[in-house]
Amino acid sequence: MKKAKFLANFENLDSIRKLVGEVAEQAGFSCNETYSIELATDEACSNIIEHAYAGQPQGVIDISCDADDGQITVVIHDHGKQFDMSKVPKPNLSKKLSEREVGGLGVFLMYKLMDEIHFSSSKKSGNTLTMTKRKSDPS
């Protein structure tokens, strides 16, 4: 398992992706799967930095990542603003260029790239996002 804390700064996204990418590679996920896991984690953390910790660059993002029995689990925790992921509208992909919304794309990609996503939020304990993905060809 790898764990680390990062300050809420976009400059840290590279290191965040590297953390989960290394766990995925060591666990034998394919290059494509590893990329998906890195991208989903990036999207989640970008939202935390931009929305949960908006204006709080000293906010802390806790990340832990573990892989076991063909499945990787990424747990991301923050103490930023309470956030309800279910309220993020899905982008309408059939809209034409001039009407296409840009909001919600990150959350949408997370759901597409990972197998399961669970989210909990409370004033006391903060926001916790858990994402899992199974290897497509478990050995």
Partner 1 sequence: METVVKEFKHCNVIEIKGRVDSSTAPQLSHTLEEICDDGRFKLVLDLTGLEYMSSAGFRALLATQRTCKRYNRGEVVLASVPVRIREALELAGFTELFKIYENALAAVGNF
Cα–Cα distance measured from residue 82 to residue 77, given in angstroms and rounded to the nearest whole number: 12
Stretch that binds partner 1, among 27-35, 55-63, 66-74, 125-133 (CB under 8 A): 27-35
Contacts of 135 (CB under 8 A, 6+ apart): 27, 28, 29, 30, 33, 70, 71
Tell me if 100 contacts partner 1 by CB under 8 A: yes
Shortest Å, Cβ 131 to partner 1: 15
Tell me if 85 contacts partner 1 by CB under 8 A: no
Interacting residue with partner 1 among 109, 117, 119, 130 (CB under 8 A) = 109
Tell me if 78 contacts partner 1 by CB under 8 A: no
Stretch that binds partner 1, among 35-43, 55-63, 79-87, 114-122 (CB under 8 A): 35-43
**Burial label, 91 (beta-carbon count in 10 A; 0-12, 13-18, 19+):** middle
